[in-house]
């Protein structure tokens, strides 16, 4: 991220290679057209480049930070355009992290050629960690980061206080970060 902050083309290309398909999948699920999703990906990476100097690896894993920036951008864009989510975008069974969805970062409508094996493997590792979270934490992470819902929306749909949803998300991110660090040390 230091290289991205200084405008190093190789660092920017590496960031895009690592997370481009993940951000694109999030955008395709949330936005009504593929063209809007493509534009959103471009704007997300511009935002990542502009805010790269603020990234602190001690506070969040890079994938968490990228997903957070992407989610915030997509929610802002949906609110700004007053565009509704695509039908089924919030149905966990049809999303990339749903109960019957295909693991490894692909939905049933995404051709396998769109995702490189390395990205698919990284996404599968993250989803494996997410699957190990307690039910409420897992649900909040999936709905917030992969489905683009606000914490308020999640609370309303689950009939759970907003404070509880915020705490669940916070605890989930801490657990995911700790698991990544311990698995990184043993690998």
pLDDT in tens, 70-114: 988 888 888 776 644 444 444 433 334 333 333 333 333 344 445
Q: Which domain holds residue 41?
A: 2-186
Please answer whether residues 53 and 44 qualify as being in contact, where contact means their C-beta atoms are separated by less than 8 angstroms: no
Q: Among candidates 174, 140, 177, 176, which has minimal Cα distance to 160?
A: 140
Contacts of residue 130, defined as CB under 8 A and 6 or more positions apart, other chains included, come to 97, 138, 141, 142, 172, 176
Residues in the chain: 187
Structurally, the chain folds into a number of domains equal to 1
pLDDT, one tens digit per residue, over 43-70 is: 998 888 888 888 888 888 888 888 989 9
Query: CA 175 to CA 23: how far, in whole Å?
Result: 22
């Amino acid at each position: 991220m230091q290289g991205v902050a200084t405008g190093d083309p190789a660092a920017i290309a590496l960031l895009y290679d690592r997370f481009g398909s993940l951000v694109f999948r999030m955008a395709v699920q949330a936005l009504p057209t593929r063209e809007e999703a493509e534009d959103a990906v471009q704007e997300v990476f511009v935002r990542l480049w502009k805010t790269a100097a603020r990234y602190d690896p001690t506070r969040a894993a890079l994938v968490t930070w990228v997903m957070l920036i992407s989610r915030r951008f997509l929610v802002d864009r949906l609110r700004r355009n007053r565009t509704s989510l695509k039908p089924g975008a919030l149905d966990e069974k049809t999303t990339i992290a749903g109960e019957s969805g295909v693991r490894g970062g692909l939905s049933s409508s995404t051709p396998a050629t769109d995702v490189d094996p390395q990205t698919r493997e990284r996404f599968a590792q993250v989803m494996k960690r997410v699957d190990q979270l307690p039910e409420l934490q897992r649900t909040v992470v999936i709905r917030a980061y992969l489905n683009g819902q606000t914490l308020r929306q999640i609370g309303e749909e689950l009939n759970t206080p907003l404070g509880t949803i915020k705490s669940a998300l916070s605890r989930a991110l801490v657990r995911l970060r700790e698991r990544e660090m311990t698995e990184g040390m043993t690998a």
